[in-house]
Amino acid sequence: MEDLMKPVALNHETVETLDQIRAGAENALYGADPAQAEELFKKHLASLIVGSGMPVLQVMHYQWFLRELARLWRTRKGRDLAFHLELTIRKWVSLGLEPRTLQFLICEAHQRLKGQAKSEIRDQNAEVGSTDARSEAAQSAVSAKSADVLRDPSAPLRSPQGDSASSATSASSAVVRSGTTPSAESAQAEEPS
């Protein structure tokens, strides 16, 4: 943990990027869905890591770094985002990743996602909205069917097994309504009062 207290020398581009973020640069990913944010980071930045010729284990570490960046970009903005980006650089440097590469990825994420992210998120939300409308229509149809069943509790329940199952279920529903079993009801009917 003491490694997080050691400052990392930031290059000029990273300092400028963090200053822009502190000054309130637009963060189009703020409040986005986690899957959308990770997908955008993967789309725009993963190719920089995967095709670099690094060993697979190191590539995986940088992909985890990108996943953490996506989480930060969608949950924080302004000074808070800049502070946590600096902490993230320190964390991953202490875990053995190259500080210049980490800084490069932060700068590239800021530049590549600055204008493109908002339009892509809007497009993805439109696609999700049309899918949600279809699923809501299906849900309302299912709830209408269940409302029909719930409307008349004295009606026998229908089952896919046939009439024997429906008579068994109607007998069990009679038990629930009256609190006695059908054989007890017939015995009570035979007793003179």
Q: What DSSP string runs through 31-49?
A: T--HHHHHHHHHHHHHHHH
SS3 69: helix
pLDDT at 174: 46
Q: Is 50 exposed, middle or buried (0-12, 13-18, 19+ CB in 10 A)?
A: middle
pLDDT at 22: 93
Q: Which two tokens stand for residue 156?
A: 């026998």
pTM for this prediction: 0.60
The vertex-151 CA angle with 146 and 155, nearest 5°, equals 100
Sign (positive/negative) of CA torsion 36, 38, 41, 46? negative
pLDDT at 136: 60
What share of the chain in percent tops pLDDT 70? 57
Between 14-18, 37-41, 108-112, 167-171, the lowest mean confidence (pLDDT) is in 167-171
Do 29 and 116 meet the contact criterion of CB atoms below 8 Å apart?
A: no
Distances 112 to 98, 105, 120, 128 between C-alpha atoms, Å? 21, 10, 12, 23
pLDDT at 161: 52
Q: Give the residue from 167, 143, 147, 144 showing the smallest Cα distance to 157.
A: 167
108 has a pLDDT exceeding 50: yes
For residue 4, the 8-state DSSP code is: G
Calculate the CA dihedral of residues 22, 24, 27, 33 and round it to 10 degrees. 80
Q: Is 89 exposed, middle or buried (0-12, 13-18, 19+ CB in 10 A)?
A: buried
Q: Give the residue from 10, 4, 1 showing the smallest Cα distance to 102.
A: 10
Taking only the tens place, the pLDDT of each residue in 135-189 is 565 555 545 444 444 444 455 555 445 444 444 444 444 444 545 555 555 555 5
Phi-psi region of 143 (alpha: psi -120 to 50; beta: other; left: phi over 0): alpha
Between 128 and 21, residue with greater pLDDT: 21
Q: Which two tokens stand for residue 45?
A: 């930045």
Instruction: Give the rounded distance of the alpha carbon of 160 from its chain centre.
Output: 37
